[in-house]
Amino acid sequence: MIEDKRILAIVPARGGSKGIKNKNITAVKNKPLIAYTLEEAKLSKYIDSIYVSTDNEAIAKICSEHGVKVNELRPKELATDEAKTIDTVLYTIELLKEKGQVFDYVILLQPTQPLRRFFHIDEAIELIYSRNEESLVSVNKVEDHPILIRKLNKDGTLSNLLDFNSTVRRQDFENFYVVNGAIYINKINNSLNKFTSLNDNKLAYLMDRKYHLDIDEPADLKKFESFVLNDYIFKGSVIN
């Protein structure tokens, strides 16, 4: 809770994953991937409740073993490749409301972003609350500047992504930022509905690029394993 506002954290964790089988519960240093997000969420001083939305019994069991009980599974229609995250968020909010659990903000924490720390979560909550904005999304500065990115046309020629002259000196490049998928926060009101695009949330929470890692394929998992084994990022954390 921040002041008198209650915060719900939703951790979405489907059983199906194409790039890495059983990705959310793949062990990294003897700990399932999802546990890294759960442990950081539990360290937040503002989150009132953590809800894991999953369709998978094995994931539910592992979450319970790590202190977050899963009382019921996500409906199958919300666990397909075509299902939208916003639908899962709205379903969860309504489900908890029916049980008498009402919240003012929802924060979505994807387990595939395991470098996100508890202080990022709290800073983002403080930011959206202090600014009284409807929505927030975490970003980091892009590595590959869009002024140098091209579209490949069908005839093999290139088109600039931006209408800029590419002879601009690198030190004069305008900064651009990418949604990194680590944190999404929304006020729970009429502005949060089935038409909401979480990636288009308005307020930016800027994270250092070193905390960005999206676990999508085996190479990403290997990179994360290396980070954990070498105490990169997590030194001094409860993660050990």
Residue 94's pLDDT is 96
Residue 236's pLDDT is 47
Is the pLDDT at 210 greater than 50? The verdict is yes
The interaxial angle of helices 33-43 and 57-65, nearest 10 deg, is 40
34's CB contacts (< 8 A; 6+ apart) are 11, 13, 24, 25, 52, 59, 62, 63, 66, 111
pLDDT by residue (tens digit) across 2-49?
Answer: 999 999 999 999 887 776 888 999 999 889 999 999 999 999 999 999
Query: What are the CA-CA distances from residue 45 to residues 48, 81, 103, 105 (Å)?
Result: 8, 34, 16, 14
**pLDDT band of 239, cuts 50, 70, 90:** very low
Residue 213's pLDDT is 93
Q: Indicate the helix (H) or strand (E) that contains 158.
A: strand 158-160
**pLDDT band of 230, cuts 50, 70, 90:** confident
Q: Say what the pTM is.
A: 0.90
Question: The tokens of 162 are what?
Answer: 């931006």
Would you list the DSSP string of 177-219? Answer: EEEEEEEEEEESSTTSSTT--GGG-SEEEE--GGG-----SHH
Instruction: Give the residue, 164 or 34, on which the prediction is more confident.
Output: 34
Mean local confidence (pLDDT), 170-198: 93
pLDDT by residue (tens digit) across 53-93?
Answer: 999 999 999 999 999 999 899 998 998 888 899 999 999 99
Tell me: domain 7-140+178-229, CATH 3.90.550.10, correct?
yes
Domain ranges of the chain: 7-140+178-229
pLDDT by residue (tens digit) across 99-158?
Answer: 999 999 999 999 999 999 999 999 999 999 999 999 999 999 988 888 888 889 999 999
DSSP-derived 3-state class of residue 164:
coil
Residue 232's pLDDT is 63
